[in-house]
Amino acid sequence: MSETKSQTLTGLSCPICGGEVQAAEGAPHVACRHCGTTLAVRGERGVPRYMVLDTVDRVAAERALRSWWTSGFNKHGTLVTEAKIEEAFVAFFPFVRVRFDLLGALFGIVKQTRNKRTVEVPREITIERSFDLTAPAAETAEFGVGHCDLSSDTLWPLDEARLSERGMVFRPQHTPDEVAARTVRATIETVASQTRLDRVVFKSLESARRRVSLIQYPFWVFRYSFRGRLYQALVDGQDGRLWVGKAPGNDAYRASCLIGGIAGAAFLSTTTLQALAYGNADDDSWVFLVLAGAAALALLGWGFRVFRRGGLVEEGQGRLSAPTSAPWQIFSDLKRRMELK
């Protein structure tokens, strides 16, 4: 990260002589150049504003888009040959970067099964974690982008005139403090839910050493047509990765996933029931039955989601919404939850 130069504040008047006073940003005191009076500077310190410049040209960005078109089986097979790029431009989106430490503790109850009895075990969980997060400061639902990647990026002092020469500039629609507060609240709720307590008795989580800044980040915005419909994709303007994109789905892939999910769930269920019926069932047989049922439901849910939502493929690590979990990931999470209990 590059060092930034302090800006000069103008438009201030000396209360003694009425002359114009210029003060360096963040300076606690300033001397009037007309009468020499030393004045104390009071007011909000403000939020630092930066920009990331685009380093990827259109050729490289379009290459990343076409590479994404041909990746995987979930997108339409003729997309790369039939799609036509209608528009491409660089756009700078405003993001709020908030860095903070999350400190606190949770007290709660975890239910455990011992000798066929359910007992409640008290548990204390201490939280001490650092976060470096970004969130959009404007309405980006149309573009589907939820955050940006600042790793290894060079931050420059914000120069809106320079950005306007390079592409379209979106203005912030929410204050940085508002976005930061919302991001911190969401992080606290997420961390608290990940503790997997059956009942929370007391919760005390607070953020400390919060640092907020506003950053204009570049993306290549592509709008393309395919069989009479328009789609959109964003490519990171700094490193050339496809950040978030929408594409028509592959109907054959959707149907195969639905049929495969139903077949896999049926095979798993019948095999498990037969093994329990003809095998030597013991007191722990219900555990395998629950795990098999959870896996079958995960397969069914995965196949149904792919079939229902697969007509429009939305991918990219910068998405607003989380990607659909694969069935084995859902099953693994359910199994891990049971083991923790």
Q: Render pLDDT for 92-146 as a digit per residue (tens, 0 to 9).
A: 999 999 999 999 998 988 888 777 788 888 989 999 999 999 999 998 888 989 9
Q: Is 60 exceeded by the pLDDT of residue 62?
A: yes
Rounded mean pLDDT of 171-183?
Answer: 93
Instruction: Determine the residue type at 65.
Output: L
Query: What is the overall mean pLDDT for the chain?
Result: 83
Q: Is 70 exceeded by the pLDDT of residue 27?
A: no
109 vs 61 pLDDT, higher one: 61
325 vs 99 pLDDT, higher one: 99
Write down the pTM of the prediction. 0.73
Nearest to 222 by CA among 214, 231, 211, 213: 231
pLDDT level of residue 183 (50, 70, 90 thresholds): very high
pLDDT level of residue 328 (50, 70, 90 thresholds): very low
Q: Is 70 exceeded by the pLDDT of residue 206?
A: yes
Count CB neighbours of 120 within 10 A: 12
pLDDT level of residue 44 (50, 70, 90 thresholds): very low
Q: What are phi and psi of 35, to 5 degrees?
A: -115, -5
HSE-CB of 130 using CA atoms within 13 angstroms: 4
8 A C-beta contact, residue 77 and residue 250: yes
Q: C-alpha dihedral over 130, 132, 133, 138, to 10 degrees?
A: 130
SS3 139: coil
Q: What is the structure's pLDDT at 1?
A: 39
Cα–Cα dist 128/207, whole Å: 10
Which of 39-53, 67-81, 113-127 is least confident? 39-53
Q: What is the structure's pLDDT at 337?
A: 40
Nearest to 93 by CA among 45, 147, 47: 147
Q: What is the structure's pLDDT at 279?
A: 57
pLDDT level of residue 50 (50, 70, 90 thresholds): very high
138 vs 37 pLDDT, higher one: 138
Q: What is the structure's pLDDT at 336?
A: 40
pLDDT level of residue 318 (50, 70, 90 thresholds): confident
Q: Is 50 exceeded by the pLDDT of residue 323?
A: no
55 vs 39 pLDDT, higher one: 55
